[in-house]
Amino acid sequence: MKRLHRRHVHYAMITGGIVLLLSAGLYGLVSGRAYFSTESVVATVESIKSFGLLTPAIIFAMILLPYAIPFFPVPAQFVEIAVGLIFGFWPGLFVAWASQMATAAITFAISDKLEHVVAKKIATSPTLKFFHNFLHRHGALAVFSLRATMSSPLNVSYLAGFSDMRPIPFLLATGFGVIPEVTLFVYVGTLIAARVELSIIMIFAIVLGLTYLPTLVVMLYWGKRR
């Protein structure tokens, strides 16, 4: 057991160091570039607002696509920051939360269509297999924890649908679980609207580190149980 514990600590230190180095490297690489600046976010906001009454629908589509399509180039969190800029905190929180819920319902509903794709990924990836087993064993509680910590490497809705979870518990867990994420990024948007000086890429680097740690703790705990 002691040897197993040392191995986990060793892996944790190496992986944690890699994450910190990648975050620092990413910040150093792009911190001076215009498309990661506050002005870039404001320009995106102006583009979204130009759709007028269709703005909420455009926001929903921009949040849906990153979750529905793996490796989509525009992260949903970037859109949630723009939502805070456009609507302010409380209205923006509702718009982002509702978009997240609709996105979760849609991707959960179509998970059956992607069964073979997801099954192949799970079979070839130990990490995805871990998260799939975690969802299968703990159900809605697992959905809540993964949503709240933003720690799943794949859309939780796909994994939950593939594990035969019931829609109502899934949606309830999602509704409460996405609150920390939308609150954080919408609030960042309101800070930008208030002309508070922020480095967008540094925010993403910090969030990356914070959301990585719960994943590490869960996986180490799972390895210890085994």
111-140 residue pLDDT tens? 867 776 667 677 677 777 888 888 888 899
Q: What is the DSSP string of 134-186?
A: HHHHHTHHHHHHHHHHT--SS-HHHHHHHTT--HHHHHHHHHHHTHHHHHHHH
Could you tell me the CA-to-CA distances from 37 to 34, 85, 118 in Å, in that order? Answer: 5, 14, 36
Q: Tell me the two tokens of residue 85.
A: 């800029």
> Is the CB of residue 93 less than 8 Å from the CB of residue 186?
yes
Average pLDDT over residues 28-54: 66
CA-CA distance, 176 to 145, in Å (whole number)? Answer: 10
Here the tokens at position 184 are 């954080």
Residue 223 vs residue 35, higher pLDDT: 223
Q: Any residues with CB less than 8 A from the CB of 40 and at least 6 apart, and which?
A: 34, 200
What does the alpha-carbon distance between residue 158 and residue 150 come to, in Å, rounded to a whole number? 15
Amino acid code (one letter) for 218: V
pLDDT tens per residue across span 192-217: 888 776 666 666 665 566 556 666 66
d(CA 97, CA 7): 40
Higher-confidence residue of 38 and 178: namely: 178
Residue 95 phi, psi (nearest 5): -60, -45
Let me know: does 25 contact 19? Beta carbons within 8 Å. no
* Euclidean distance between CA atoms 143 and 92, whole angstroms: 23
Query: What integer pLDDT is reported at residue 161 of this predicted model?
Result: 85
d(CA 82, CA 88): 10
Q: How many CB atoms lie within 10 A of CB 217?
A: 13
pLDDT at res. 32: 45
Residue-level pLDDT at 1: 44
Q: How large is the average pLDDT for residues 165-179?
A: 93
Domain definitions of the chain by residue range: 38-198
Give the mean model confidence (pLDDT) for residues 12-36. Answer: 47
Torsion of CA 97, 100, 102, 107, to 10 degrees: -160
For residue 48, pLDDT over 50 is answered with yes
- Bin 195: left if φ > 0, else alpha if -120 < ψ < 50, else beta: left
Q: Above pLDDT 90, what percent of the chain? A: 20
Q: What is the pLDDT of residue 176?
A: 94
**What SS3 class is residue 197?**
coil
Amino acid at 23: S
